[in-house]
Amino acid sequence: MSIIKEKDLTKLYYSIGEVASFFDVNASLIRFWEKEFTSIKPKKNKKGNRLFTPKDVITIDRIYHLVKLEGYTLDGAKKAMRSKKSSDNPVAASDINNENLEVINRLESLKSRLLTLKS
């Protein structure tokens, strides 16, 4: 569900304007998130312009997804980032117990019946 794909990021560095345009937000929001989330660490040139690496852009994409699309608060997004750093899937396979697996199976069979009725 990411807006940005890592393979699409071909440059070594992106300006704050480019990053803001990726997500259709103001540059001030990117600067604010930089202060709030310690995982965003852009380099600065001699003028003080921020230069974001592809890793920073991916981190900002995750923050954008959590805050803007899923409705997390900033504190909630920070906790989610800490607890699931390497996982793109919000629900780990180990978290699904037998009861949940049974419900999933029933829903999938119901879905297949509904699709059969539709066609």
For residues 112 and 110, what is the distance between their CA atoms, to the nearest angstrom?
5
15, pLDDT greater than 80: yes
Whether this model's pTM surpasses 0.85: no
DSSP codes of every residue in 13-64: -EEHHHHHHHHT--HHHHHHHHHH-TT---EE-TT--EEE-HHHHHHHHHHH
Q: CA distances (Å), 42 to each of 37, 48, 55, 56, 83, in order?
A: 12, 11, 10, 7, 23
Number of domains comprising the chain: 1
Span 48-102, pLDDT tens digits: 999 999 999 999 999 999 999 889 999 999 998 888 764 554 444 444 566 677 7
Span 22-45, pLDDT tens digits: 999 999 999 999 999 999 999 999
Mean pLDDT, range 2-21, rounded to an integer: 86
Question: The domain containing residue 27 runs over which residues?
Answer: 6-94
CATH number (domain holding residue 71): 1.10.1660.10
